[in-house]
Structures are given as C-alpha cells and as structure tokens.
Structure 1
Amino acid sequence: MNFSFIKKIYIFFQALIRSGSDTEDPGYRLGVGILLMNQDGKIFVGKRIKKKYSEWQMPQGGVDFDGGVPEPFAQAAWRELWEEVGVKNQCKMVACTQRAYHYDFPYFNLWKLRFKGQKQVWYGFLFSGSDEEINLKITRHPEFESWKWIEKKELMTSCAFFKRSLYAKVFEELWPTMMKALCSK
C-alpha cells in the first residue's frame, strides 16, 4: 500500500475541512498571500514538494474556518508565514492589499472538486533575520522543498503562468510601500 499517497489525501482533507469560501463569491477559497522581502530587496520564493509543475511561488495559504467563522486575514498571514517559512519574530508586517485578488486553478486538482480558484488578501513583510533562521520543516507537513531569494523580475518569469497576473497586481499595489519601508530601515 502506498502510504505517502494516503498521507497526501489525509492532509488534503484536513485542509479542506478547515477551508471556506468567500460569501460573495462561493466558488473561491479564501486565503492570504505573503510578499516576504529581505534587506537586499529580494523576494522569498519556494518550490512545492514533489509537484511536477513546481514553479517558484510566494508563500500563501487558506484562511482557517472555526465554526463557520473565518480567521482574521492578518492572523492567517502570520500563521502561514510560520507554517511555510518557519519565521515570525524576524519579520515585520508593513503592507496589506486594499482588496482581495483571485486566480483560477488552470487544471484539475482535488481543490477543484470544491473551488474554482483562490481569493487572497496579500501582506508584505520585511525579513530582518538571517537565512539560517528559515526553516521549511517547522511543521509536520512542510509545503516547500527548497527556497531562495530572487528579484521581482525573475519571479515574474519563473512563477506559474496562472499566477503571473495575480503577482503583477500584488506588486503594483504593495511594491511602493515595501520599498519605502525597506529604505527607511
């Protein structure tokens, strides 16, 4: 029996149970995205574990629902930062999008059984720690197998095609605030 497949199914259904949709647009799973920038103005990106299409991406995740009530977006962003990157105290939240952005899943996956895509509020964080403090295996079920710091332009050419327009909108809104915060340090 393939226990890694069973483990993946179990993890998926645990996440599905904790997930919820936007009441205004129930076809989209509510979530958050994280633009994490280091002191050199480079962006944190990771590669998903064992995905054949694993392009570089910024951290993101769903908003947890407890009794039908969504977790506050900022709280979800801090939680996802910890779960996916393993950092918290080394970061400062400096920006947030004024609206949620969405993208559609371009191909079939298990999420598509319930949602057509994700709708996310994005947060900008400045990282002041050292690279050695980043820990992708902080949780029992890590999401990234590798990571690096890259320039914005490189991210736009190395991310999944279906996230490019989303990332462009996020950068348009958050980049000026992120650069101002970085320069004021």
Structure 2
Amino acid sequence: MPTKLDRETMPYRDCVGIAVFNAQGNVFIGRRMPETDPEDSAEAGAPWQMPQGGIDKGEDALKAALRELHEETNITSVSLLAEAPEWIHYDLPDDALGIGLKGKYRGQRQRWFAFAFTGNEAEIDVITPGGGKHPAEFDAWRWEKLSRTPQLIVPFKKDAYEKVAVAFADIPQRFTHV
C-alpha cells in the first residue's frame, strides 16, 4: 500500500447529479444515511443532498440520471428541463482520499440534469426505492430552495453545489411565473 497517494494522478469517477423541481420551484433533497455514503468519509457536515450516482460503462448520462433517480427515490414521473452545460467536479477531502469511492478516485466528475416532478408525492419512497429492489440511501426527504443547497451539503461538495445552483438558477422562476 502506498504511503502517500498522489491526488493529481487519480481519476475522477463519472457520475450524474439530479435536481428534481416541484410545482413550487423547490428542489428534492434527501438526508443521506451515513452507512450508505459511497465516499466513506468521516467528513462532518449536513447530510442533505440531491440524488446522484455513477454512470455505468457504456451508459448514456441521461439514462443514468433517470436510473439513479428511481434507484434512490422511486421517482419516475419527471420531465427533462435542462442539462448543466459542463461537467461539475468535486474532490474528496484528504482524509478520505484512498478510502472513499472504493479508494480508486480523487472525487467525482458529474453531469447534472434538472427535471420537473410531474407525479404525485406518494410516488416518492426513499425507504424502499426502486420498488424495494435497491437499498435505501436516504432516510428522509424534503423540498428546498435550490439556492440553499450549497449550505446543506457536506463542505467538500459545496463548490460543486454552488455551480449547480448557478447552472439551474432560472428554473425555480419558471414555476413561480406560470
């Protein structure tokens, strides 16, 4: 085992991030269960985040976003609103490097999608998501203002969430001015 990992030589894991907006222009956030944290980080901070997950080899990013959304929240009733114009990156903190993300990655490179939630809230099930075929990653959920999400995420993802908030800043107004 190497004594010191070189962050610069480690790759990013390709992933998707999903912002689901309700009719009031608020975004879905879930409270992460610590034992399901793929970063395996001891990083202290608020456990709230939007759904996210890995892109399987050969998988289209939009299809990955829809799959991950269903696997984490049970949500399938959505309509695509936007895709962030560029990949958004975050790095794991030093104490999680070589441990989090199975020790293979320095962080994540995420493709972010914004969706309108078109279903009934009864569809949302974070405890037995994907019809119970997937383990729960969240133990609670709520709707929140997109602009507040950078303050609710773990600190090492804050810059990424600020970029997501900028990329989708116009979306909440689409709902409030209909």
SS at 2:34's partner residue? coil
Structure-to-structure mapping, 1:109-120, within 5 angstroms: 109-111=99-101, 113-120=103-110
Task: Tell me, in whole angstroms, the C-alpha distance in 1 between the residues paired with 2:61 and 2:177.
Answer: 26
Task: Tell me, in whole angstroms, the C-alpha distance in 2 between the residues paired with 1:158 and 1:98.
Answer: 23
* Root mean square deviation, CA, Å: 2.1
Shift of 1:34: 0.4
1:88-140 per-residue CA deviation (whole Å, 9 max, x = no partner) reads 1x211110012111001113234151000000010000112222210111233
Residue number among 85, 97, 109 corresponding to 1:98 in the alignment? 85
Task: Tell me, in whole angstroms, the C-alpha distance in 2 between the residues paired with 1:182 and 1:40.
Answer: 6
Task: Tell me, in whole angstroms, the C-alpha distance in 2 between the residues paired with 1:165 and 1:142.
Answer: 26
Task: Tell me, in whole angstroms, the C-alpha distance in 1 between the residues paired with 2:105 and 2:31.
Answer: 23
Residue number among 43, 58, 64 corresponding to 1:76 in the alignment? 64
Residue number among 161, 164, 169 corresponding to 2:163 in the alignment? 169
- For the 8 Å contact 1:41–1:151, the answer to whether it is kept is yes
The number of residue pairs the alignment matches comes to 155
Question: Which residue of 1 is the match for residue 3 of structure 2?
Answer: none
Shift of 1:141: 1.2
Question: Which residue of 2 is the match for residue 130 of structure 1?
Answer: 120
Q: Do the aligned partners of residues 112 and 171 (structure 1) sit closer, same or farther apart at CA in structure 2, a change above 3 Å counting? A: same
Q: Do the aligned partners of residues 126 and 48 (structure 1) sit closer, same or farther apart at CA in structure 2, a change above 3 Å counting? A: same
How does the TM-score come out when normalised to structure 1?
0.76
Q: Larger relative CO (CA 8 A, sep 6+): 1 or 2?
A: 2
Question: Which residue of 1 is the match for residue 13 of structure 2?
Answer: 29
Task: Tell me, in whole angstroms, the C-alpha distance in 2 between the residues paired with 1:56 and 1:140.
Answer: 19
Q: What percent identity do the matched residue pairs reach?
A: 32
Question: Which residue of 2 is the match for residue 45 of structure 1?
Answer: 29
Unpaired runs of at least 5, structure 1: 1-24
Task: Tell me, in whole angstroms, the C-alpha distance in 1 between the residues paired with 2:146 and 2:31.
Answer: 16
Shift of 1:78: 0.6
